[in-house]
Structures are given as structure tokens and as C-alpha cells.
Amino acid sequence: MPESTTKTATKYLNFIDGEWVPAKSGDFFENRNPAHANQVIGLFPKGGKADVEAAVGAARSAFDAWRKTPAPVRGEILKRVGDLLLERKETIARDMTREMGKVLAETRGDVQEGIDTAYYAMGEGRRLFGETVPSELPNKFAMVVREPLGVAGIITPWNFPLAIPTWKIFPALLAGNTIVFKPASDVPLTANHFVEALVDGGVPPKVVNLVHGGGGEVGNAIVEHRDVPVVSFTGSTAVGRGLAERCGRALKRLSLELGGKNAQIVMDDADLDLALDGALWGAFGTTGQRCTATSRLILHEAIHDRFVDRLVERAERLVLGDGLDPKSQVGPLVNEKQLEAVAQYVEIGRAGGARLACGGGRATAGALAEGWFFEPTVFVGVTPSMRIAREEIFGPVLSVLRVKDLDEAIAMLNDTDYGLSSSLYTRDVNAAFRAMRDIQAGITYINGPTIGAEAHLPFGGVKETGNGHREGGWTAYEIFTEQKTIYVDYSGRLQRAQIDNR
């Protein structure tokens, strides 16, 4: 919801306590188009601790009525939200491309994932399963039910500006929690669109609160607030580790979805055309800015050279440009800081002894000079100990490694601090099942790239990729609910459990 349009830019607002309001500081920050860095999309409120305090207070005041709303009714509301997202899909997708950069086909998919998650949540409104089990005593009933925790703090990244917030917010709302939502500062307009859909769809206004601003001010205030019992965060492993320490001291529930260093294995019996398509999409889709991006490509030595030749030829033909241009296949990096980080990793790769096969620099031809574009980059001769093979780059940089057999390939894939997504291309069903058993990752694809998530399946990883929770599917509802065990004794006499039943 804009506040006003000036000659320079439109001003937008936070949504707190059922109203669109400016930050209490009165300050704003710029939201720029990464394809045209001189283009300001809008000005957004620079929130802080006082704004979070107001948002948490509003969410707390709405909690009792919302938790008592029957879960199927909450699900029907979220279904209406999904309908509105469907109606507004093109508008949201185009604005998402303008502020985040990825091509329009991808932002449409991002919105569709949110729609799918809404419709899945509607069904879960009639499936918030508890359990009933026999009691060990006569005339006694035992059951377990799920209850909401209270105010949920939701802190989301910029690479999937609608999909990831819906993964968190729809389950939290369906379970009966209220929300304080802090989106990444690179994608505030998409967050405003989302909150407008939530309110227009029937979520009571105080149930959802939106506070824009930096992680140091808004994010920390959410995490440290005593009345926020559960926090869900997607972002870097370094930030997640710090959040875990603080939430641990407060005995606060925390769900972390963090980094990845994903690998695709291609064996000598694979469909190489299919594997090539998968490697290109996995490495350079979303300009490599995905926690599930294919950052390592592990090739069997028998097909290594010819596969690399084809990979480089295809990578060099990818069309960079404004994501709103139908001809563009790869958009810009999200901001100048990300561009500098990727460029630094290219230098680290060169200094470490890897050979640059293509790309490696900022793309500046023609209109590309207006934005933060980086060439699709392929390194060969990479070894597992090199930094570019171990650290998350979050850009269009692919490291190619060579192996002799499947055992070496799986060991190399597992040789990382992360464990989010993984991929194997092979026609050998026995090899596929060995890989499914032995790969250390939360997600494994056979004959598909490392990316992609379906709304009804768990999403998350092992090792430093997270802290064990899974988003998506039925598992997301475990994050936002507490289990209560209930006994009903209808014996009419005192029964003292183990004292009386033995």
C-alpha cells in the first residue's frame, strides 16, 4: 500500500496493528531495479525496534481469537488468499522481476508456488492430525492434539520473495499462530503484495504484521522479543548460527533453512543431453542465486571432456538481460554487493589453480552496463579442497570435478559442510538406489537437476544446511505447533497410573 507518489519515487508503508503506517523513525530506504541500477522502484520504511514492539503487541492481541477460529475456517481463508494470488499473479511476478531480477518465467513460477502452498494449506485445515492411543488403565482415554505457539517471527530472503514467505506464513497461520513478518530489504514490494492478499483474503488485520527494515534492526528485534516464541529464518549459515545461539539461550523454537553447496553427478551411461539441460538450469537459473543451485558438477572421466565442451558452448550462448524481456534467459545479480562477492570468488578460483573455461567477469555490453549482470562462469580442473568447491558462492559460477567411478563421485558429493540438494544422472537403476542410500542430503534427484520444490513435500537439508526442521508439506506444521497430551478418566475413581496397574 503506497503512502504517496512523488516526482522521485513512490513511498510504501509497514502494516502494523491493522493499518498501513510509516516507520516510527520516519526514515525510508530505496528499492532499486538490479537490471537498471539507476531506477528506483520505491521507498520503503526503515523500521526498527519500536515498530517490532508495536507489531508484536498487535499480533499478541489477535492471537486468542485467531487460535479459537476453527482450523478448517482458517484453511478456507487461506484458499481465498491463494485465489487472489492467482488473480494477481502477473502483476506480482512483474514487480518481483523488477526488484529481484530473475526472468519473468521464474517469477511466475515463484508466485505459482505460493498459490500451490495456499491450496495445500487449505486441505491441511482438515488434517491437523493428533493421535489417539490406548490407555494402560481401564475407562481412561488418551489423545494428543496440536496447538499454536503464539506470535511467529518470520524472516525471509530475497531470492524467492513470495514462495519462501508462503512456506512459512501459511502453515503458521493455518496452525493458529499470528505473524510478524520481516522480508529481505531487496524485495519489499513483493512482501507488500503478499500482505495485501492476506488481508484482502480475510486474514484478520492484526493477525499479520509487516515490518520492513534491516536485519540488524528489525530482524534482531523480532528474534530477541520475549513474546515471540517461534522464529523461522531462511538465509546464510553464518547468520543462522548466531540466531541459534540467541534462541537457544531464550529456549525459543527456531527453524533454520540455510546454505548449500549442491552437486550434480553425471555418470558415463547417462543421457548426456538431459544431464546438460539439468546442469545449465541448476547452475545458471535464478543467476545461481538459490540455496539449491548446482554449484559443483561431478563428471565421470569417460565423458568429462566432451561434456565440458558442450557445457561451455551452451553457457556462452545464454542470453543475459532484463528479466522482463522475453529473450532474456539469465537476469542480473540482486545487488552490487552480490556482484562484488561473485567477482571475488572468481579471483579465488583462479588463484587456487582452477582453469576458467568461460565467463568470469561482469557483463557490460550495451544495456547490461546499467545493471548488476555477471557472465555464466565455468571452472574446470577443480579439486575438492579448493574454496570454490567448498564455499557457497550464490552466483552463476559452476565448478567441474572429475571422478573415476560412482563411489568416488558420491564421496566427493558428500565432502562438504552442507547437505541440501543432490543429483545423479544415470541409466543404471542399481547405481541410482546406491546413490539414494549413500548421498548425505535432504533432497536427492535422479535424472533431474538439484533445484525445485513441490508444495506437499518436505524441503530442507542436513549438516550446516539447517537445524533439522523441514519446510513444505506436512512437516512445516510441526514447526508452528506444540503437542498437548490429554487424558480423560471416566472410571469415577482415582487411578494412579503405574501404581495401580501393576
Which domains are delineated in the chain? 2-258+466-484 (3.40.605.10), 262-446 (3.40.309.10)
Query: Which grid coordinates are listed for 198?
Result: 492476506
Percent of residues, the chain, with pLDDT higher than 70: 99
3-state secondary structure 399-435: EEEEECCHHHHHHHHHCCCEECEEEEECCCHHHHHHH
User: Please, which residues bridge with residue 233 across strands?
Assistant: 155, 256
pLDDT at 429: 98
Euclidean distance between CA atoms 209 and 199, whole angstroms: 10
Statement: residue 452 has pLDDT above 90: no
Euclidean distance between CA atoms 290 and 280, whole angstroms: 14
pLDDT at 8: 72
* Closest C-alpha to 306, from 355, 273, 262: 273
Kindly report, residue by residue over 15-68, the tens digit of the pLDDT. Answer: 999 999 999 999 999 999 999 999 999 999 999 999 999 999 999 999 999 999
422, 263 Cβ separation under 8 angstroms:
yes
* Average pLDDT score over the chain: 97
* Closest C-alpha to 23, from 264, 246, 211, 220: 211
pLDDT at 500: 84
88, 77 Cβ separation under 8 angstroms:
no
85, 404, 409, 424, 435 from 447: Cα distances, Å = 32, 19, 15, 6, 12
**Catalytic, out of 113, 257, 375, 471:** 257
Kindly report, residue by residue over 358-381, the tens digit of the pLDDT. Answer: 999 999 999 999 999 999 999 999
Angle made by CA atoms 219, 224, 229, in degrees to the nearest 5 = 100
Q: In 91-222, where do the E strands start and end?
A: 131-134, 140-148, 151-155, 178-182, 208-210
Statement: residue 461 has pLDDT above 60: yes
User: How much is the average pLDDT of 412-425?
Assistant: 98
30 catalytically annotated: no
Phi and psi based region of residue 60 (left: phi greater than 0; alpha: psi -120 to 50; beta: remaining): alpha
358 catalytically annotated: no
- Please report which confidence band the pLDDT of residue 453 belongs to, taking 50, 70 and 90 as the band edges: confident
- Please report which confidence band the pLDDT of residue 7 belongs to, taking 50, 70 and 90 as the band edges: low
pLDDT at 1: 58
**Catalytic, out of 113, 247, 291, 392:** 291
Euclidean distance between CA atoms 165 and 233, whole angstroms: 10
